Amino acid sequence: MADEHSLGELLREQGISRRGFLKFCGAMASLMALPSSMVPAIAAALEKAQRPSVIWLSFQECTGCTESLTRSHSPTLESLILNAISLDYHHTLQAASGEAAEAAREAAMKQFFGKYLLVVDGSIPTKDGGVYSTIAGISNLDMLHEAAKGAAAIVAVGTCAAFGGLPHASPNPTGAVAVSDIIKDKPIINVSGCPPIPVVITGVLAHYLTFGTIPELDDLGRPKSFYGESIHDRCYRRPFYDQGKFAKTFDDEGARNGWCLFELGCKGPTTFNACATTKWNQGTSFPIESGHGCLGCSEPDFWDAGSFYQALSTPITPVGRAAAVAAAAGIVGGAAIAMHNRHTKAAAKTAHQTVTIDDLEKPSGEAK
């Protein structure tokens, strides 16, 4: 549970040297995409920072986001961050279960009211009173309302919490919505992705820990430092896109030459995320580097954007039927117009009267 010690004291207690601490600050700076000139300021801020209490609620989700987060924490950096915050409730990661777990959540909510950071992964089902997902008999909807009240800020981790994600996909049987659809009066940071890149999750937590503020956000509530550029803009295959060189199948020559994956359905141009720069698995690689197009997982409604293997410029619903129906209607309508025109013409012909010379010689007014 969070305590009154500052982070500096805490790390010293754990036997971490000044040098190790500065190294940690340097890593934090790069994590937050800040220049290294910021390191002294970060060190000063962290020295005094209190370990914030973090309550992590998992709603309608697949645990992929938590899995992602844990992948990042075996080396020192992220484990330090987990030491640097006090994760008071996370029903996958905590040791306690059942009533003890819920008691821990309630205690943290009470003790740090107004100060704790609320992290949410998964969407919130709203249909039928929210019965489709409950924890300890409490619906996700009610738990979110309750937990949000005392939160200093909310971090929506994963596309489900940020935009509704997979549960929200058409026809959305549970009426799933994003955190921001329900909570309107708290700052919300959307850390989207399915799942988000581990260091992006920890980077956002690091920012909050260091500065006690929320980072600059884009129009979808995502931190600009990680979601400021599209995959396409930073993609190393971009020169091939510009030259018009595209892989047509996953194992043709183009694919082997590393050409652009646009025609194979890459959604990189409309996807804003840090995959192309931060990469996955400790900077090893990212999907496009392994030969698969971007799915667009950090964008709203990416599940409903047509097939993952269909080019971005193509229609997401087949147009053949609409075209056929329209053609039939056009032909019927056109035939009707043609008939009408013929009719008018024929009528004009029968109504036509020949004029004789006598008619013309009659004084005007009498002519009929």
Partner 1 sequence: MSDMALLLWARGPGLQIALTVFIIGMLLKLFEIFSLGRKKDLSTPRPGKAWSGWKTIFSRSLPDRTLLKRTFPTYLMGYTFHIGFFIALLFFAPHIELFRKTVGLGWPALPTTLVDGVTLLSIVALLLMLGYRLYHPVKRFLSTFDDYASWALTMAPLLSGYLAVHHLLLPYTLMLAIHILSVELLLVFMPFTKLFHTVSLFISRWYNGDALGHKGARL
What distance in Å separates the CA atoms of residue 172 and residue 287, rounded to the nearest whole number? 28
Q: Site residues for partner 1, window 6-45 (CB under 8 A)?
A: none
Our finding on whether 275 is near ligand SF4 (CB under 6 A) is no
- Secondary structure E strands in the chain: 53-58, 86-90, 116-121, 124-125, 134-135, 138-139, 151-157, 176-177, 188-191
Our finding on whether 331 is near partner 1 (CB under 8 A) is yes
Our finding on whether 346 is near partner 1 (CB under 8 A) is no
Our finding on whether 221 is near ligand SF4 (CB under 6 A) is no
Q: Around Cβ 135, how many Cβ atoms within 10 Å?
A: 16
Q: Which of 299, 255, 249, 293 is nearest to 273 (CA)?
A: 299
Q: Which is nearer to ligand SF4, 210 or 298 (CB)?
A: 298
Binding mask 164-193 for ligand SF4 (x = CB under 6 A): -xx---------------------------
Which does residue 136 bind out of ligand SF4, partner 1, none, counting CB within 5 to 8 angstroms by kind?
A: none
What distance in Å separates the CA atoms of residue 361 and residue 175, rounded to the nearest whole number? 85
Please identify which residue in 322, 346, 347, 367 interacts with partner 1, judged by CB under 8 A: 322
Which does residue 266 bind out of ligand SF4, partner 1, none, counting CB within 5 to 8 angstroms by kind?
A: ligand SF4
CB of 137 to ligand SF4, least distance (A): 22
Site size toward ligand SF4 (CB under 6 A) is: 28
Q: Which is nearer to partner 1, 130 or 293 (CB)?
A: 293
Q: How far is the CA of 175 from the CAs of 50, 56, 161, 181, in angstroms?
A: 39, 22, 13, 12
Q: Which of 306, 317, 310 is nearest to 169 (CA)?
A: 306
Residues ≥6 apart with Cβ < 8 Å to 41 = none
Q: Which of 56, 65, 45 is nearest to 200 (CA)?
A: 65
Please identify which residue in 27, 32, 43, 65 interacts with ligand SF4, judged by CB under 6 A: 65
Q: Are the C-beta atoms of 78 and 235 separated by less than 8 Å?
A: no
Q: Are the C-beta atoms of 199 and 81 separated by less than 8 Å?
A: no
What distance in Å separates the CA atoms of residue 68 and residue 77, rounded to the nearest whole number? 15
Our finding on whether 260 is near ligand SF4 (CB under 6 A) is yes
Q: Site residues for ligand SF4, window 223-252 (CB under 6 A)?
A: 231-232, 235, 237-238, 241
Q: Strand 134-135 vs strand 138-139: parallel, antiparallel, or unpaired?
A: antiparallel
- Residue 85: phi, psi to the nearest 5? -110, 165
Binding mask 23-62 for ligand SF4 (x = CB under 6 A): --------------------------------------xx
Q: Which is nearer to partner 1, 121 or 299 (CB)?
A: 299
Please identify which residue in 86, 159, 174, 278 interacts with ligand SF4, judged by CB under 6 A: 159
Q: Which is nearer to partner 1, 239 or 283 (CB)?
A: 239
Which does residue 207 bind out of ligand SF4, partner 1, none, counting CB within 5 to 8 angstroms by kind?
A: none
CB of 6 to partner 1, least distance (A): 41
Q: What's the 3-state SS for 180-199?
A: HHHCCCCCEEEECCCCCCHH
Which does residue 270 bind out of partner 1, ligand SF4, none, counting CB within 5 to 8 angstroms by kind?
A: partner 1
Please identify which residue in 93, 138, 337, 367 interacts with partner 1, judged by CB under 8 A: 337
Q: At what angle do helices 140-149 and 98-111 cross, to 10 degrees?
A: 30
Looking up tokens 């850390």 gives 191
Which does residue 228 bind out of partner 1, ligand SF4, none, counting CB within 5 to 8 angstroms by kind?
A: none
Q: What's the 3-state SS for 64-97?
A: HHHHHHHHCCCCHHHHHHHHHCEEEEECCCCCCC
Our finding on whether 233 is near partner 1 (CB under 8 A) is yes
CB of 126 to partner 1, least distance (A): 19
Our finding on whether 347 is near partner 1 (CB under 8 A) is no
Judged by the rule CB under 6 A, the positions of this chain that interact with ligand SF4 are 61-62, 64-65, 121-122, 158-160, 165-166, 194-195, 231-232, 235, 237-238, 241, 260-262, 266, 268-269, 288, 293-294
